[in-house]
Amino acid sequence: MKEFLWIIAGIWAVFLGWLFIPAFVRGMPKPEKVSGSYMRRSLVFFVVILVFFVLWARADPGLFLTRFVPDSLAAGGAGVALTLAGLAFSAYARGYLGKNWSSMVMIKEGHQLIRTGPYRYVRNPMYSGMVVAYLGLVIALGIVAILAALVIFFAALWIKITAEQELLEEKFGDEYRQYRRHVKAIIPFVL
């Protein structure tokens, strides 16, 4: 159902606008330290994924468009609901980060370790919400290519989480290590 795809795209567009536009208008504090390893890891990951998809598409191009969720009103509605809920949760988590937020992996001047709000239950609630939102897209579209992209999206987030953890541990030391031991990365009480 194409109309659900447009609704989901609109929800993502509003979320991304809400996320990035204020940062450009107000400006952000200067970075204290930027992760160099994140960019290297991301580039290697991108090349590996690109090669994988090219080889897969050459071997069986029809598999990408195979449906595994029926094209139905229920699937489209569930997809929209998950997208809305996931991105609303991400927006809620973003509010708790305040000036600590950045789309890049960095520590900013005056950076604080946030452990309140949704950060009491999961260290990366923005990413948790985005995974739920992307799962909504998977359900609404229901094709193998989107499911494969979800796996890739999750792996890319994990690369970013790992780089962020390195910087936060370097900045906050034992305080961050203790937080990390008690609060899971992306799925509360699980992962």
**92-97: average pLDDT:** 92
Could you report the per-residue pLDDT of 103-126, keeping only the tens digit for each? 889 998 889 999 999 999 999 999
Could you report the per-residue pLDDT of 142-157, keeping only the tens digit for each? 988 888 888 888 888 9
**8-14: average pLDDT:** 94
pLDDT at residue 177 above 80? Answer: yes
Asked whether the beta carbons of 142 and 75 are under 8 A apart, the reply is yes
Could you report the per-residue pLDDT of 36-88, keeping only the tens digit for each? 788 788 878 888 887 887 777 777 777 778 888 999 999 999 999 999 999 99
25-40 burial: b if 16+ Cβ within 10 Å, else e: eeebeeeeeebeebee
pTM of the model: 0.86
pLDDT for residue 28? 64
DSSP string, 39-95: HHHHHHHHHHHHHHHHHHHHH-GGGGG-BSS---HHHHHHHHHHHHHHHHHHHHHHH
Query: Which residues make Cβ contacts (< 8 Å) with residue 137, sequence separation at least 6?
Result: 8, 79, 83, 146, 150
pLDDT at residue 191 above 90? Answer: no
**Domains annotated on the chain, with CATH:** 30-182 (1.20.120.1630)
According to DSSP, residue 173 is labeled T
pLDDT at residue 24 above 80? Answer: no
Distance of CA 135 to the CA centre of its chain: 11
pLDDT at residue 1 above 70? Answer: no
